[in-house]
Amino acid sequence: MVIDFLREIDESSNNTSINRAQERNKQLNEQYFTPMGIAYFMASMFKPVKKREINFLDAGAGVGNLTAAFIAYVCSWEVKPQKIKVILYEIDNTIIDELRANMEISSEMCHEHRIQLEIVLKNEDFISYTIDEIHEKKETLYDYIILNPPYKKLNTNTKEKRLLSSIKIEVPNYYAAFVSLSLRLLKSKGQLVCITPRSFCNGQYFKSFRSDLLEKIKFEWIHLFDSRKDIFYDNVLQETIIMYLTKNAQTINHNITITESVNVEFSEIRKIKKKFENVVFPNDKEKIIRLNKEDDLGLVEKMHSLPCTLENLGITVSTGPVVDFREKAGLLRFESTQFSIPLIYPEHFFNGFIKWPIISKKPGYLIQDKSNFNNLRPPGIYVLVKRVSSKEEKKRIIAAVYDSQYIGKFKVAFDNKVNYFHTGKKGLLSRNKAKGLTLYLNSSLVDFYFRTFSGSTQVNVSDLKTLKYPSLEMLERLGTYYENELPPQEEIDQLINEMFV
């Protein structure tokens, strides 16, 4: 009966007008309708409660797949509630009729199981409407909340950003806003299941959001997907996760269930339990959430056994200060002129070294000017890391040596699509140390460790500061193993592994 009901909802949700609405939502809000298989998996993460009436919220209902899946799940409980009160927010007028139709089907399902279903459909903006209610102390609290929120960026000068700030929610995008707001609507011991990008697990932009999460809820279960593809039948670059959270105090010794499936069929699920203190380290000021798998534990221990932080080494890492499209007209050039200097992009990375100049669609020269003087760096030896890796690249962290001895004894401009290692905005002390650092950063150890806490292709400065590093002596020695071209990956990894013998 449940399978027939879900199939009917799924068929109802696959007509042409809904597909057009989904395409529009993807373009405008970076929001994706939830496939029924994922919807039912999410609903089944909730734990039944023995109550006569339960309150349920779907803050971005779409055509109702998540709500229908939750209702189907409740109808399978051994001890069923007498009544489900469902609150649905959906701002898109073009799909309201389909949402109502799916809720009518859901009502029939509840009627067959002698459950009263009360549906309140709010054709309102969830953020604005809910914050107004919070200010007026009229907000409703819920036993269950389910979310597949929009992913798009939350711009600074927007009404929503100001409203969120008024209740001390500081987040960079809509999915974090929806989750933070929903946490405030949970009853004590209430339950929340949401599907979001994994990008909040690290990085400065999400630090406030992570703190908010860890302060207000307990992580119970996190589901990972082994592939980035086919979650929403689209090539979503950010990895997607599903979280089951409860409104309880988090404890260090609490075990979090972490599961992983190869795809959205959930046919092969791997499962481990990890103590909370191994997911968020107690003394970690950044509150990074490390969703490493069981076979990652060895490399995490290796990383933590290294002796140095960047501060110990006397090295700093920063994002390239030059933003090409903000430079004055005429300062970007494709050919050398009397006052031009190298402008370095990710395109200049070649097997562990910067190759410049090259034939490229981007200008390779920047003319020095008083408007950009403070953004230029003196000649020297720097280590650069791409801020974003492409889909085609196997590794997330890609490093290269910039050595002015081989390029030219003049200042250099680093584009903001690269991060650069330096000492007080000057180059590193020796070429061998720079080569050793580059070799280390290009190792599988660093790449795999990075993946334990980052789900995007972007490498932030804060991520590079999080790593542990070999000592200066070790870096110097590593740099002696090659000259002008990185060794093969197997050789790099062998050299790194020998440090731990």
pLDDT, tens digit (0-9, with 9 covering 90-100), for 319-334: 999 999 999 988 999 9
DSSP output for 127-155? HHHHHHHHHTT----EEEEEE-----B--
Question: Per residue in 129-153, is it b (16+ CB within 10 Å) or e — as a string?
Answer: ebbeebeeeebeebbbbbbbbbbbe
- The per-residue pLDDT for 82 is 97
- The confidence band for 237, taking pLDDT boundaries of 50, 70 and 90, is very low
- The per-residue pLDDT for 267 is 76
Residue 7 CA to its chain's centroid (Å): 32
For residues 156, 162, 163, 164, the Cα torsion angle rounded to the nearest 10 degrees is 50
pLDDT mean over 143-171: 94
Is the N-terminal amide bond of 357 cis, ω within 30° of 0? Answer: yes
Residue in this structure with the two tokens 């991060």, named with its chain if needed: 419
Contact 316, 426 (CB under 8 A): no
Query: Which has the closest alpha carbon to 317: 386, 267, 229?
Result: 386
pLDDT at 29 over 60: no
The three-class DSSP label of residue 171 is coil
pLDDT at 436 over 90: yes
C-alpha span between 230 and 223 (Å, rounded): 15
**Cα-based angle 314, 462, 228 (whole degrees, multiple of 5):** 140
- The confidence band for 14, taking pLDDT boundaries of 50, 70 and 90, is low
Higher pLDDT, 217 or 5: 217
- The confidence band for 277, taking pLDDT boundaries of 50, 70 and 90, is confident
| Largest Cα–Cα separation, the chain | 84
- The per-residue pLDDT for 253 is 81
- The per-residue pLDDT for 373 is 93
- The per-residue pLDDT for 250 is 80
- The per-residue pLDDT for 457 is 84
- The per-residue pLDDT for 223 is 95
pTM for this entry: 0.79
pLDDT mean over 426-442: 96
> In order of start, what are the domains of the chain with their CATH numbers?
1-42+49-295 (3.40.50.150), 310-498 (3.90.220.20)
Contact 388, 340 (CB under 8 A): no
DSSP output for 255-267? EEEEEEESSTT--
Contact 410, 377 (CB under 8 A): no
Across the beta sheet with 255-261, the strand order is 116-122, 83-89, 53-58, 142-147, 186-197, 240-246, 218-225, 255-261, 269-275
Query: Which has the closest alpha carbon to 386: 375, 398, 394?
Result: 398
